Amino acid sequence: MTVENNTSGRMEQAGETKGRSRAAGRRRNAQRPGEQKKHRSAPVLIALLLLLLIGCIGGGYVYVKKYMPTKERADLNEYFDNVAGNNILIYLNQEIVKNDKGYLVIGRYQNGQVYLPFDWVIGTLNRRFYWASDVKQLFYSEPEETIKISEGDPAQDGAQAFFWDGKDLFLNVTLVSQYTDIRYHAHTDQTNKRIFIFDNDSPEKQATLKGKESVRVLGGVKSPVLTDLAKGDTVTVLETLENWSKVSTNDGYIGYLRNKKLSEITEVTPEDNFTAPVFKHILREDGSKVVMGFHQITTAAGNATFDTVTANAGPMNVIAPTWFVLTTSEGDFLSYASEDYVSKAHAKGYQVWATVNNFDSGKIDTSVLLPNSALREQLINGLVSTAQQVGIDGLNIDFEQIPQSLGRDYVQFMRELSIACRKAGIILSVDCYVPYNYNSYYDIGELGTFCDYVVIMCYDEHYSGGEEGSVASISYTDRGIQEALKNIAPEQIIIAVPFYTRVWITQNGKTTSDAMGIKQAREWITSKGIELKWDETTGQNYGEIQDGDSVKKVWMEDEDSLNLKIKHIREAGVGGVAAWKLGQEPTGFWDILNLNMQEVPEPGANG
């Protein structure tokens, strides 16, 4: 029984345990819906956190990609147009230099020095350098001498002054700066060599860096880096934008910096240590204007006409006889100079400026004479010596039809002649056409620097063999005046007017012309009964006539047209007037040309 009782007790106990377990299970089952919800939320939270993390990473990447400055370095070969090795990129006033065709102008680096192309130097920086190819020397003319530099001669820095590479001539930048008002800084310690040249002294805008910063190719933090600057470094500000500035650095880069990294911009005027040579000109001592008449002499006997041609030229104070004529391409010349003539001229108060021309003896090949250093010197010595012997006051050079290819040689001849004349106390004047682009190689600006006077020949606007028209309209004269004033000091300018006109003859569709002095043309007009009417466009009296089967036209040079020209010449304040040529003018014309007379008749009185 005891056994049965124990068994029964255990069974009851087991039943109770089961009952409690079921009850506990029911209680646990009653909590499961909440627990299951929590278990389902956890993965979602983790996924959201992961998405947020990915978003932050992505946003950070986008931010860095868009806003953080790049450290990428620029391709300097590309930036410097692939100019490398011993070639040098040239900047002028912060701009890369290119020629008219858009090609880079390249310098050379040789033996530790920078060399610039000769053609670029004379075309841009200083046209006074002259390459004497016949003697392989570099010439540079100053007021009192022409400096001659031979191959191998040193510049101021001790390096070779120039070199020839078999094709082109290159000048040491130190030599160029010795004679030229320029500043420069070169950067030759890198693969991409470059030089910055400045030919003006305009104030520069400068700023200092507030902290270290990178200079970039373009404005923007993602633009590649050109160079890195430190706090306190100075840059030249070329252009200021909203957030960036274009700058030039002291280590030879032009790029962009953020404005917030720059101090306040200040203006700084560069120091200029260049002293330009002083050219002194022999002008009229009494301060009067030049009133000059050309006296055409083609034989020695022509000197005897002095009294006749000057009989009515009271106000004239300079006479220019055409005494010297080139006879060979080697510079030999014929002289009609006369001491007796000079004495007569001086007695009447005239200076004598003997004219030298290259056309009265036929065609002279100036391509032989002008580029030859020895022949130039021989001609100069001959002219100056003859002028001194005869007592001539001045020389007047009338070289016409010089081709463009000889322009620099012609100007060099005038430079060298001016030095000789200045030393001898001889006045030097030179005759030039009315300036246009096509004859700009006569370089009236350089002639004005070296010569005492430049005579602008304001005639032959329409010439024999060309289209019909005025020999010297008022607009043509005005152009001569204004173009000269752009290049030459007013007191050195002489405006030459014509004492002649042309009668234009059209017959059977062909037009020709006859040149006539004013006296002769006036007689012709009277004999033909031509009625003249004032033409405002040309500033002259115009007339025409049907003469048989031809039509004849004339733009008359007379008192009216001459008064108008002289009015404009006076208003311009130039140094004088000249007329071609003595003996062609009616009585009274020289009174009109008298720039030293205060009272001026009004133009158009007879029009």
Q: DSSP characters for 156-215?
A: TTSSBSEEE-SS-EEEEHHHHHHHS--EEEEE-SSSSEEEEEE-----EEEEEBSS-EEE
Task: Evaluate whether 132 touches 372 at the Cβ level (below 8 Å).
Answer: no
Distance CA 177, CA 172 (A): 9
Mean pLDDT of 140-156: 96
Q: Name which residue leads in pLDDT, 237 or 166.
A: 237
* Confidence class for position 503, pLDDT limits 50, 70, 90: very high
Percent of the chain with pLDDT over 70: 89
* Confidence class for position 62, pLDDT limits 50, 70, 90: low
Percent of the chain with pLDDT over 90: 86
Identify the CA nearest to 294 among candidates 433, 424, 422, 457: 457
The DSSP symbol for 575 reads S
pLDDT in tens, 159-190: 999 999 999 999 999 999 999 999 999 999 99
pLDDT in tens, 258-274: 999 999 999 999 999 99
pLDDT in tens, 276-308: 999 999 999 999 999 999 999 999 999 999 999
User: Quick one: pLDDT at residue 282?
Assistant: 97
Which tokens in the block code for residue 95?
């701009």
Whole-model pTM: value is: 0.88
Identify the CA nearest to 525 among candidates 539, 543, 509, 510: 543
Q: Which amino acid is at 95?
A: E
User: Quick one: pLDDT at residue 81?
Assistant: 96
What residue ranges define each of the domains in the chain, with the CATH number in brackets?
Answer: 66-200 (no CATH), 202-271 (2.30.30.40), 290-499+557-593 (3.20.20.80)
Residue showing tokens 């990473």? 57
Which residues neighbour 180 within 8 Å (Cβ) at sequence distance 6 or greater? 125, 126, 199, 274
* Confidence class for position 48, pLDDT limits 50, 70, 90: confident
Identify the CA nearest to 431 among candidates 408, 459, 399: 399
> Is residue 490 pLDDT above 80, yes or no?
yes
How far is the CA of 353 from the CAs of 298, 381, 493, 589, 590, in angstroms?
Answer: 16, 17, 15, 21, 18
pLDDT in tens, 390-403: 999 999 999 999 99
Mean pLDDT of 544-550: 96
> Is residue 426 pLDDT above 80, yes or no?
yes
* Confidence class for position 539, pLDDT limits 50, 70, 90: very high
* Confidence class for position 24, pLDDT limits 50, 70, 90: very low
Distance CA 137, CA 131 (A): 6
Residue 58 CB neighbour total at 10 angstroms: 10
Distance CA 389, CA 166 (A): 46
Residue 455 CB neighbour total at 10 angstroms: 29
Which tokens in the block code for residue 252?
């030879």
User: Quick one: pLDDT at residue 602?
Assistant: 58
* Confidence class for position 47, pLDDT limits 50, 70, 90: confident
Radius of gyration in angstroms for the set of CA atoms belonging to the chain, rounded to a whole number: 44
User: Quick one: pLDDT at residue 432?
Assistant: 98
User: Quick one: pLDDT at residue 49?
Assistant: 74
> Is residue 529 pLDDT above 60, yes or no?
yes
Mean pLDDT of the chain: 92
